[in-house]
């Protein structure tokens, strides 16, 4: 089997925790080479894994140096796939490091539900209060400690960085310096365009009819993705997005009682990861 890149950094999760933003920011560093497609799902999807390591290496452009090869696939921490993905990653040769993003559990679940609802995943449960009780996946993806421990047991603490998404939002310069130290690359590099956020709820809500039509044409969407950088596509989507009402009731937010129920269910899985009630 062809060997993997000698230096590989994987943003492994969690879903709706800022993996797209981190991929975009970190990919601007001169010592980091991002994959052509952000989400390769190579280690988690059996059909993609069957394509082999030679296919995987081709997902990056050639480079005269030996940069960190970067990809970001939240599926590496999907509950039904995490153990297989961790075993495959642990078996790689070379220097492999992992970044696991975590987010306020309530915010992550609300964002996950919003994202899935607008794509038909939760169409039978038009209330998030009902969905968190009927769809275990909403909670299971948020069981950070459980999936972090899977990777720690297989790759060791020294190769795994747990990063809080709110740090990336509020203190991006400091958060990215922490990532650079983890990768032993220049932490003083000035990352451009840190004000842009990617794949946010605002990007997903009430898409312009032209954007919705594009989403139904897979072949055309593929051409656009290859021809137009992600940061340009995201800004264009915001320009096209119609205005939506900011106030009023919404089925996408948990009320205080439901929040308390969710946090009780997740108590062991988020213990020690968040330092204050604000973070939780």
What CATH number has the domain bearing residue 170?
3.40.50.300
Query: 176 with 214, same domain?
Result: no
Q: What is the CA radius of gyration of the chain?
A: 19
Query: 23 with 152, same domain?
Result: yes
Read off the pLDDT of each residue in 216-228 and give the average, rounded to a whole number.
55
Residue 48 lies in a domain: yes
Query: 167 with 215, same domain?
Result: no
Residue 256 lies in a domain: no
Query: 108 with 169, same domain?
Result: yes
pLDDT in tens, 42-101: 999 999 999 999 999 999 999 988 999 999 999 999 999 999 999 999 999 999 999 999
Strands (E) in the chain, as ranges, are 7-13, 32-34, 68-72, 95-102, 160-164
Residue 253 lies in a domain: no
pLDDT in tens, 123-139: 888 899 999 999 999 99
Model pLDDT, residue 242: 43
* d(C-alpha 19, C-alpha 24), whole Å: 9
pLDDT in tens, 232-252: 555 555 444 444 444 444 678
Count of CA atoms in the C-beta half-sphere (13 A) of 175: 20
pLDDT in tens, 15-53: 999 999 999 999 999 999 999 999 999 999 999 999 999
pTM of the model: 0.84
Q: How far is CA 153 from CA 63, 113, 162, in A?
A: 33, 30, 15
Query: 126 with 216, same domain?
Result: no
Domain that holds residue 23: 7-194
Residue 45 lies in a domain: yes
Tell me if 60 sits within 8 A of 10, measured CB to CB. Answer: no
* d(C-alpha 97, C-alpha 8), whole Å: 6
Task: Quote helix, strand, coil % in the chain, to nearest 5.
Answer: 50, 10, 40
């Amino acid at each position: 089997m062809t060997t993997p890149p000698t230096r590989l950094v994987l943003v492994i999760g969690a879903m709706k925790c800022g993996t797209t933003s981190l991929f975009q920011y970190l990919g601007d560093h001169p010592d980091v080479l991002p994959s052509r497609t952000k989400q390769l799902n190579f280690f988690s999807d059996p059909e993609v894994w069957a394509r082999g390591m030679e296919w995987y290496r081709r997902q990056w452009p050639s480079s005269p140096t030996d940069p960190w090869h970067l990809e970001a696939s939240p599926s590496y921490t999907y509950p039904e796939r995490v153990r297989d993905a961790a075993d495959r990653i642990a078996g790689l040769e070379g220097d492999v490091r992992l970044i696991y993003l975590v987010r306020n559990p309530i915010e992550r679940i609300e964002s996950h539900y919003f994202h899935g609802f607008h794509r038909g995943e939760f169409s039978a449960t038009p209330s998030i209060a009902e969905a968190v009780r009927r769809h275990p996946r909403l909670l299971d993806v948020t069981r950070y400690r459980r999936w972090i421990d899977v990777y720690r047991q297989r790759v060791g603490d020294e190769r795994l960085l747990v990063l809080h998404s709110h740090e990336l939002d509020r203190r991006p310069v400091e958060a990215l310096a922490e990532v650079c130290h983890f990768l032993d690359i220049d932490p003083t590099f000035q990352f451009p365009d840190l004000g842009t956020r990617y794949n946010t709820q605002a990007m997903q809500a009430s898409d312009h009819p032209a954007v919705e039509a594009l989403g139904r044409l897979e072949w055309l969407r593929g051409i656009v993705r290859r021809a137009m950088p992600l940061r340009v596509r995201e800004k264009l989507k915001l320009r096209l997005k119609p205005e939506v009402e900011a106030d009023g009731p919404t089925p996408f937010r948990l009320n205080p009682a439901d929040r308390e129920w969710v946090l009780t269910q997740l108590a062991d899985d988020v213990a020690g990861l968040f330092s204050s009630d604000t973070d939780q």
